[in-house]
Structure 1
Amino acid sequence: MNVENGIHDAHYYVPEPSRWPITGSIALFCMTCGTALWINDMQLGKWLLLAGFLILIHMLIGWFRDVITESQHGDYGQQVDHSFRWGMSWFIFSEVMFFAAFFGALFYTRTISVPELGWFSDTHEQLWPAFKATWPGVSGPKIAPYTPMEAFGIPAINTALLLTSGITVTWAHWGFVKNNRTQMALGLALTVALGAVFLVLQAFEYHHAYTQMHLTLASGAYGMTFFMLTGFHGMHVLVGAIMLSVMLGRVLKGHFTPEHHFGFEAAAWYWHFVDVVWLGLFVFVYCL
């Protein structure tokens, strides 16, 4: 209870025991096992992966429904709101550390390990005669020739899309503050649409990389880091778009007030985080 900051409720709401955390754990377990089996050419893998996705969707719908119902019943006071804000802040911090590890791997690979391999010319000429210590065109005897991804084209368009989406979600937030439901709905719809276009263009980019540029996960360190960073970011864009879509549905149902709309604020924080990560990706993966 934080009385000093004026955060005090007579009763702190404690929800009933929920089955959704264990449901989500089962979904992730099925997805992990399914992916591992599928990679090893076992037919059971794709069905287990599909089952995991379906269980995860069921969990998301059920958990969102329960939280929305509790919120609309007025169960959440100032203390709960304060807890939600800290919880979301720490969650985003954990996501920052998640991407920091991947950026660290990219930095180590291109700045330390690749140049070091180039210094030991006698060794790599005996072990890997075709190796060239140049980034991003790292080559070797087991790496098929590929074309590195350029910053112009789809990556530049996607950067413009995400920057624009940051403006539209902020405009939607102003609508929440002013209780302008038309502005809320329009801002959210535009943001979700921009996120969807981003994902479609990224799918085209991946198809072009695989079919025309011969850039795949097997393209050495560059291919692995490229698809690892952009792929995980694309997954975060998808999650953010789903969160904002839920907020749009709630706005259309008449939920939220100028004083109580943290559900939207949490989704907006997450979306801005996704925008900032993409700017780092665009500079360090595509431009440098």
Structure 2
Amino acid sequence: MARNKAKQDYRPVEPSPWPIIGAAGTFFAVIGAVFWMHGTYNFFGLGLGGNPTIFFTGIALIVYTLMGWRFDFAKEANEPGRHGHRVQLNFRYAVPLLLCAEAMFFSAWIWVYFNAAIFHSGYPDGTWSPQTIINFGPWGLPLFNTLLLLTSCTTIFWARHSIISGDHRGAANGLALTIILGAAFIAIRTFEYVYAPFAFGLIGEQLLSPTDTGDAQGDLGAIYGSTFFMLMGLHTTHIAVGVVFLVGCLRRILAGQYTPQRYFGFEAAAWYWYFGVVIWLVLFACIYVWGAGHGAAAPIEL
């Protein structure tokens, strides 16, 4: 009696080390950030306070995980029958869902920012931003960063058009320029973080006490610093992850693995990148342009 073998559009996922390595990297990055920011904190007498080693170790593990996972994904994509129609359809659903999840995350923090900015009448001076905060002006480095990201949209579109046309050289050049622009954006953001005239939850050099309810102006300043660095830090992280994805796409382009018919890996990276640009335009308008116009002190231009 003949047996009919069930046809599947996908193969079971093989064991992979990347989830546990990525989880370890995330753990070390979060714990390391806490130790680093709380410089006087002494964890079981190990003297880890103020030391960024654990944090950067976690970041290195996360980047290693992203690159390794990307390499395995590309290897699977080149195996005949590995990524069938159903698998590709799942990918096309997964990327928009990921971007929707990120959009909700950014929306929550933007709401926190505007909640403090608009409903601040109960604070002593009734202004936003607080008198203790000096805003960044929008027309210096923030505007330059905006131009960098808008330019990167044209270069990544050039790369996509080149892939569709079968021009691998043009695709590689466009993608390389996009990576350079993204790296420049991250470098400028880092410079801005270092020279910011305010800090995460700090006023000057004084750490705000959660039990000090009398210093309402200080509390408002802490909200400003926290929301600013959370929003900008999350966005910079998004761009950094996008750069890692684009580096993986560049490697595949140079290896000739993308064709005019099969290039969804690049398409997903491009969607991710465009989303980061759109979020930046929202943050630029809300935090820099609108925020600088409502500050109690004159903004500084970097």
Q: TM-score, normalised by structure 1?
A: 0.83
Contact 2:29 2:56 in 1 (8 A): yes
Question: How far is the alpha carbon of 1:193 from its aligned partner?
Answer: 1.0
Change (3 A) 1:65 1:237: same
Change (3 A) 1:179 1:32: same
Which one of 61, 67, 75 corresponds to residue 69 of structure 1?
75
Residue 268 of structure 1 is matched in structure 2 by 270
Q: Is residue 2:82 matched to residue 1:95?
A: no
Q: Match of 1:204, as an amino acid?
A: F
Question: How far is the alpha carbon of 1:11 from its aligned partner?
Answer: 3.4
Residue 83 of structure 1 is matched in structure 2 by 90
Residue 124 of structure 1 is matched in structure 2 by none
Q: TM-score, normalised by structure 2?
A: 0.79
Residue 60 of structure 2 is matched in structure 1 by 54
Which shows bigger deviation, 167-176 or 18-27?
18-27
Distance 2:61 2:191 in 1: 28
Distance 1:234 1:88 in 2: 19
Change (3 A) 1:48 1:197: closer
User: Secondary structure of the equivalent of 1:56?
Assistant: helix
Q: Deviations over 1:91-121 (max 9, x none)?
A: 1111111101111111111112x12x14xxx
Q: Is residue 2:198 matched to residue 1:215?
A: yes
Contact 1:13 1:80 in 2 (8 A): no
Q: Which consecutive unaligned segments of at least 5 residues does structure 1 have?
A: 1-8, 119-130, 140-144
Question: How far is the alpha carbon of 1:10 from its aligned partner?
Answer: 5.0
Q: Which consecutive unaligned segments of at least 5 residues does structure 2 have?
A: 1-6, 204-220, 291-302
Contact 1:181 1:251 in 2 (8 A): yes
Q: Is residue 2:126 matched to residue 1:133?
A: yes
Q: Deviations over 1:170-204 (max 9, x none)?
A: 11111111111122111101111111111122222
Q: Where is the helix percentage greater, Structure 1 or Structure 2?
A: 1
Q: Match of 1:216, as an amino acid?
A: A
Residue pairs, 1:191-230, within 5 angstroms: 191-209=178-196, 214-217=197-200, 218-219=202-203, 220=221, 221-230=223-232
Distance 2:190 2:34 in 1: 23
Residue pairs, 1:33-182, within 5 angstroms: 33-41=31-39, 42=42, 43-44=47-48, 46-74=52-80, 75-112=82-119, 114-115=120-121, 117-118=122-123, 131-136=124-129, 138-139=130-131, 145-182=132-169
Residue 14 of structure 1 is matched in structure 2 by 12
Which shows bigger deviation, 56-65 or 245-254?
56-65
User: Secondary structure of the equivalent of 2:135?
Assistant: coil
Residue 211 of structure 2 is matched in structure 1 by none
Give the length in aligned residue pairs. Answer: 256
Distance 1:223 1:31 in 2: 21
User: Secondary structure of the equivalent of 2:262?
Assistant: coil
Which shows bigger deviation, 54-63 or 90-99?
54-63
Distance 1:169 1:15 in 2: 31
Greater relative contact order structure (CA < 8 Å, 6+ sep): 2
Distance 1:222 1:89 in 2: 31
Distance 1:181 1:201 in 2: 30
Distance 1:159 1:47 in 2: 32
